[in-house]
Every structure is written in structure tokens, then in C-alpha cells.
Amino acid sequence: MAILHIVNKSPYERNNLASCLRLAKAGAGVILIEDGVVAAADGGKFSGMIKDAMKDLKISVLGPDLDARGISRDKVIEGIDVVDYGGFVDLVAEYDCPQSWL
């Protein structure tokens, strides 16, 4: 059983991403949505944490939320998969159980 972790908060404001990564097991997926997408941009304080996590976890980010916030797709950390809402649905179907870090 693998979980799809959904993170919708900025790590600069709240601890949702940190808690998610603490409790995510190797093989799980993480999708960053809403304000959570800011963690996908390279060069920030949390980029190292994301890159570390990518060794064990597949990380995706919701493209429309990046675009809305003016985060250019070429700023996204290499290896993070940019998906649209359809891709989000596919991920929820692909993993066994979604978990939203609210």
C-alpha cells in the first residue's frame, strides 16, 4: 500500500510539508498543490529538503497553481513532475490511499 501525500501549505508558513516528509515512507508519492507549490521552486530554504526527499519519494506539483502564483516552470526543481488537474486525478488513482496534510 502506498500513500499519495497531498500538501497544500507553504513550508515558509507552516509545518505541513515537514510533517508529511517525516511520516512518508519510501515509495510514496507527494503532490504539492495550492500554496504548497512554492516548495517546488528551486533556490529556496526548503529546496534541499525536497531534493533529499526525492531520493525515496516521487514528487509532483500542480501546474495551474504554479502558474497562478507566477512561479515559472523552469524554476521548478529538476525531477519534480508538473501535472494538471487530470494528472492529479491519475495520481490519486495510481496510489492506494490519498492523505491530505491539512
Nearer to other proteins, 12 or 85 (CB): 85
Residues near other proteins, by CB under 8 A: 1-3, 6, 8, 15, 19, 22-25, 28, 33-35, 64, 84-86, 88-90, 92-93, 96-102
Q: What does the alpha-carbon distance between residue 49 and residue 80 come to, in Å, rounded to a whole number?
A: 13
Phi, psi torsion values for 6, nearest 5 degrees? -115, 120
When the beta carbons of 54 and 92 are compared against other proteins, the nearer one is 92
Judged by beta carbon, residue 1 or residue 74, the one nearer other proteins is: 1
**Could you give the angle at the alpha carbon of 7 between the alpha carbons of 19 and 4, nearest 5°?**
90
Spatial CA neighbour of 71 closest among 22, 30, 10: 10
CB of 46 to other proteins, least distance (A): 17
